[in-house]
């Protein structure tokens, strides 16, 4: 059991970061407003959690303009997808 606990990733211990990764793993990308609405968090709260996942190289972003308005799209990196799957597998094993 101790080795399973070591498989848990601290980056996903927070419900917002867990929600961000859950959403990005099943979608090619989501923009900032879609994530904010989906998770029901404030701009600042979402931004800080996104920055945390960016530092871990679990997500990345692209900035563009849509109708002259800035739009930021976020997507899970391959490293992030693997880390998230490993985390979820550890949880599943702990529940068995």
Give the per-residue SS3 of 7-59: HCCHHHCCHHHHHHHHHHHHCCCEEHHHHHHHHCCCHHHHHHHHHHHHHCCCE
Q: Which residue has the tokens 């692209």?
A: 62
pLDDT tens-digit series, residues 38-81: 999 999 999 999 999 999 999 999 999 989 999 999 999 999 99
Say what percent of the chain tops pLDDT 70. 99
Cα separation, 48 vs 28, whole angstroms: 21
What's CA 81's distance to the chain center, in Å? 9
Answering whether pTM is above 0.75, one says yes
Cα separation, 11 vs 24, whole angstroms: 15
């Amino acid at each position: 059991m101790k080795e399973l606990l070591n498989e848990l990733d601290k980056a996903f211990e927070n419900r917002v970061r867990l929600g961000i990764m859950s959403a990005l793993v099943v979608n090619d990308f989501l923009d900032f407003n879609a994530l904010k609405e989906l998770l029901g968090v404030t701009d600042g709260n979402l931004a800080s959690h996104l920055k945390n996942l960016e530092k871990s190289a679990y997500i990345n972003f692209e900035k563009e303009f849509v109708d002259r308005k800035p739009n930021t799209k976020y997507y899970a990196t391959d490293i992030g997808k693997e880390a998230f799957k490993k985390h979820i597998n550890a949880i599943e094993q702990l529940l068995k």
